[in-house]
Amino acid sequence: MKCHECHQLIEVKGKYCPYCGVPIEPKEKEAASRINKPIKNNHKHKGIFTMFLIVLLGAGFWAWQSDALSTIGFKQKVPKQVIAYPYQDAFGLNILNEDLEVVAQDVGAEVIGFTGPVSYVSRFNEYGVAVVRDQNYLFWLVNHQGEIISEGFNTINSSPFGISGPESSYGVSSSINGVHTASNDDKYFLINTTGDVLFETVGVILPFEGNDVTVLNDYSRSHNNGTERIASGVITDSGEIIIPVKYHYLSVVDNEHFIVKEWEYEDMYRLINRSGQTIIEIDTDTPPVVAHTDNDVFISATNYWGETTVFNINGESILRVPYTTNFSASENGKYLYPSYLEDNSQQYIIYTAEGETHFQGDKINDYHRVNNNNWLAFSDYSGFGYIDLETRESVQIPYEMNDSYFSFINGTNVGTITNNRGEHVFFNSRLEEIFLPETQLIGHFVQFEVNDIVYIYKNKGFYVLNKDGDILSENALYAFADEDSVYIQETNGKAYLLNKDTGKIIKEKK
């Protein structure tokens, strides 16, 4: 006979199924007796109730299983997003919820060692945690309820190599699990979303930049002559060292791939996986350059003979050119284009992701970035414009260029040049000049882009533009963009949530 529970064929020798342990005889007899009984109306209600119990138990089991899996190493990559925004007033930092209602006031006022008002605040991540800096230049973690959840640190999510800046707080700086890096004196720490220290070391831990792994540097080792020597490895956001701290050079490609260089092989880099296995050896004496797209990774490296090769993440060669350059990739991963050409006599060529020639440029033109619309920026002695790589149509306006060139700001349709007076000039998607007077002569680096929003420094605060160059704010103190909207607090105290494409107000702080 078959067990009614697990449906295994069994011999009726005992009272219980040897496979699942369910009683045999009582259940079989009970089933037989039910067959001979007339069906009553209340069985319909019992059936519905039974189905409800099954669904409820199933949901409970799924929830338990999800939690159990997360405790044995299956990380939940997509947390339930907590939405919160910072708001600064004369009394200090306040926290707003998704409806722009105040849920906490004067953050840190009662915390020993915290000196307000804050001088800096980052965006809140998906877990509802942000970084604030007080008047003593100590960094703290604050949650979406306005609670300071960590001690004060000298740095949080900061790199000793100068790659961090104001723009880093507008992007992703914690790990995908919400873990931050921090330092005090000679120690570095990993701090989770509740402010607890998960790991500490005397080495340097670089910011996570949205991965669940990052680089751990050990400065304690030295050469025989006493000069400083850095050894690098890979650490996860739980504090597990998965790549030994022994490499002369190490960079994170993604969560599963790394580029390393060993002390014994000064003229060779390797692409390795998370297990330390070599995917490909790259003959070069300069670090390979990685280009990320939405779905792909491209690695370019130049050998000793000046030939540049582009590899995919599997180590397969896509294309090779007989000159020195680095290749960038369009956002959708459709096109590969050289970041620069050392010799003006070389022809500018754009390739497909498969390595086929797609576009050959004119040698008299100066070509630059491809934006998210697959527009290629170019300029010559008479002006500037862009070429649509899909249609091959071009748009150009006359302009006195001198030694300047035109380029898009990252993937947006906003373009910029530096004119012959050293002033930064910006143009929208229609190649019309955007009048931003306070950006003139402000310095070399004046803009950055995150989530299709362009931030342009001014004397106090930012200009905020959407991807087409429409001005969303001329006096932003904070501006944090999500997928469809952007939260802005202006220097005059106004705060609102805008549709980041149209600029229409969605919500406004009362």
Mean pLDDT of 256-273: 93
Residue 19 has what DSSP assignment? T
pLDDT value at residue 466: 95
Distances (CA, A) of 159 to 162, 163, 378: 6, 6, 34
| pLDDT tens per residue across span 343-360 | 777 889 999 999 999 999
Q: How far apart are CA 500 and CA 453, in angstroms?
A: 8
The CATH architecture that domain 288-360 belongs to is Beta Barrel (2.40)
* Residue 162 pLDDT > 50: no
Task: Say if CB 336 and CB 318 are below 8 A apart.
Answer: yes
| pLDDT tens per residue across span 86-97 | 999 988 999 999
| pLDDT tens per residue across span 171-214 | 668 999 999 999 998 899 999 999 999 999 998 999 998 899 99
Q: Do the domains 288-360 and 364-510 sit in the same CATH topology, yes or no?
A: yes
pLDDT value at residue 341: 85
Q: Is the dihedral of CA 34, 39, 41, 43 positive or negative?
A: positive
Q: How far apart are CA 127 and CA 62, in angstroms?
A: 22
pLDDT band for position 41 (cuts 50, 70, 90): very low
pLDDT value at residue 461: 85
Buried-exposed string 139-168: b where 16+ CB fall within 10 A, e elsewhere: bbbbbbebebbbbbbebbbbbeeeebeeeb
What element of type H or E holds 308? strand 308-312
| pLDDT tens per residue across span 289-315 | 999 998 899 999 999 999 999 999 999
Mean pLDDT of 481-489: 92
pLDDT value at residue 363: 78
Mean pLDDT of 457-480: 91
Structural domain boundaries in the chain: 1-37, 42-74, 288-360, 364-510
Phi, psi of 149 (to 5 degrees): -110, 5
pLDDT band for position 451 (cuts 50, 70, 90): confident
pLDDT value at residue 1: 54
* Residue 447 pLDDT > 90: no
Enumerate the β-bridge partners of residue 507. 497
User: Which residues lie closer than 8 Å to 327 by C-beta, 6 or more apart?
Assistant: 289, 291, 298, 300, 308, 310, 336, 337, 338, 339
Mean pLDDT of 109-137: 92
User: Which residues lie closer than 8 Å to 409 by C-beta, 6 or more apart?
Assistant: 415, 416, 447, 448, 449, 454
Q: How far apart are CA 150 and CA 138, in angstroms?
A: 11
* Residue 64 pLDDT > 70: no
Q: Which residue has the higher pLDDT, 456 or 49?
A: 456
pLDDT value at residue 445: 52
* Residue 167 pLDDT > 80: no
Residue 32 has what DSSP assignment? H
Secondary structure (3-state) at 407: strand
* Amino acid at position 489, single letter: Q
**SS3 per residue for 45-76:** HHHHHHHHHHHHHHHHHHHHHHHHHHHCCCCC
Ranges assigned E (strand) in 391-458: 394-398, 407-408, 415-418, 424-427, 433-434, 447-450, 453-457
| pLDDT tens per residue across span 219-255 | 765 444 445 567 999 999 999 999 999 999 999 999 9
Task: Say if CB 178 and CB 191 are below 8 A apart.
Answer: no
Statement: the pTM of the whole predicted model exceeds 0.75: yes
Q: In 10 A of CB 19, how many CB atoms?
A: 13
- Two tokens at 95? 């926290």
Q: How far apart are CA 465 and CA 454, in angstroms?
A: 5
Which listed CATH number (3.90.1150.10, 1.10.3330.10, 3.90.550.10, 2.40.10.480) goes with 364-510? 2.40.10.480
pLDDT band for position 160 (cuts 50, 70, 90): low
Secondary structure (3-state) at 337: strand
* Residue 506 pLDDT > 50: yes
pLDDT value at residue 28: 39
- In terms of DSSP bridges, do strands 268-273 and 278-283 run parallel, antiparallel, or are they unpaired? antiparallel
pLDDT value at residue 491: 93
Q: Which residue has the higher pLDDT, 40 or 129?
A: 129
pLDDT value at residue 10: 53
Q: How far apart are CA 335 and CA 350, in angstroms?
A: 7
Phi, psi of 89 (to 5 degrees): -130, -170
CA angle 63, 66, 67 (to 5 degrees): 90
Compute the mean pLDDT over every residue in the chain, rounded to the nearest whole number. 82
pLDDT value at residue 35: 31
Least confident residue range of 59-68, 180-189, 301-310, 468-477: 59-68
pLDDT value at residue 54: 41
Distances (CA, A) of 489 to 258, 472, 507: 39, 11, 12
* Residue 124 pLDDT > 60: yes
The secondary structure of 134-179 as a DSSP string is: -TTS-EEEEETTS-B-S--BSEES--TTS---GGGGGS--S-TT--
Q: Is the dihedral of CA 354, 357, 362, 364 positive or negative?
A: positive
- Two tokens at 20? 């699942």
* Residue 132 pLDDT > 50: yes
Task: Say if CB 414 and CB 467 are below 8 A apart.
Answer: yes
Task: Say if CB 330 and CB 370 are below 8 A apart.
Answer: yes
User: Which residues lie closer than 8 Å to 302 by C-beta, 6 or more apart?
Assistant: 284, 286, 308, 309, 324, 325, 326
pLDDT band for position 48 (cuts 50, 70, 90): very low
